[in-house]
Chain A
Amino acid sequence: ETGVTQTPRHLVMGMTNKKSLKCEQHLGHNAMYWYKQSAKKPLELMFVYNFKEQTENNSVPSRFSPECPNSSHLFLHLHTLQPEDSALYLCASSPGTGQTDGYTFGSGTRLTVV
């Protein structure tokens, strides 16, 4: 365990389903991130939250909806996804944007859209 916990580890959903990914950290970090990693592609930054406020939306389609109720929890709500959205979704945290310490990543949620 890295200190960043993601659930579920694996998720299969239909294109008409609604599901949510959860990320939790108890490292005392103030910034949290969602990344997407498709097969044989680099990690793509999706969203950045700093002190619960979204500071970055990297042109992510609206079918992905993030929520950050507090500095320890981050959600990614999914609805009407497409098969090409199948990927490994990674959550990370850091002490805070503007600081130089590294990220701590979770183990990811492997999402398959059928």
Chain B
Amino acid sequence: DAKTTQPPSMDCAEGRAANLPCNHSTISGNEYVYWYRQIHSQGPQYIIHGLKNNETNEMASLIITEDRKSSTLILPHATLRDTAVYYCIVGYNTDKLIFGTGTRLQVFP
């Protein structure tokens, strides 16, 4: 079973920041937080991952709370092409990432 909880759906206006929350209250000390997204009928795309510190790359930022029980993925300027299902996953490494149901993000004009 997935060890994360995400809202089933969210909306965001184009050009605004999209903040996607994830709860992982049972995360273990060595487990990473991974984010992927899946655009309709395509394979999931890796976005970002982190352990304790906040992370940023060209796609997004990942904010992890100090107690590591929750995190937020931030898309700073959402576009229509960011409409997708976003998955938050925790795991020790990439041995076997277990996907949950994710958050369906709809970006509207």
Contacts and interface: CB of A to CB of B under 8 A. Distances in A.
A56 B2 contact: no
B100 A105 contact: no
A81 interface: no
Interface stretch (A11-19, A64-72, A87-95): A87-95
Given A92-B43, A102-B36, A45 B93 contact: no
B46 A103 contact: yes
A46 to B, nearest CB: 10
B46 to A, nearest CB: 3
Contacts of A2: 43, 45
- Name the residue in A4, A102, A105 with the highest tally of chain B Cβ atoms < 10 Å from its Cβ: A102
B41 A97 contact: no
Interface residues of B, number: 22
A42 B100 contact: yes
Contacts of B100: 42
Interface in A37-93: 42-43, 45, 48, 55-56, 58, 88, 90, 92
26 contacts: A42-B99, A42-B101, A42-B102, A43-B44, A45-B98, A48-B95, A55-B95, A56-B96, A58-B96, A90-B44, A96-B94, A98-B94, A98-B95, A99-B94, A100-B93, A102-B34, A103-B36, A103-B44, A103-B46, A103-B94, A103-B97, A104-B46, A105-B43, A105-B45, A107-B43, A108-B41
Interface of A: 2, 4, 31, 33, 35, 42-43, 45, 48, 55-56, 58, 88, 90, 92, 94-108, 110
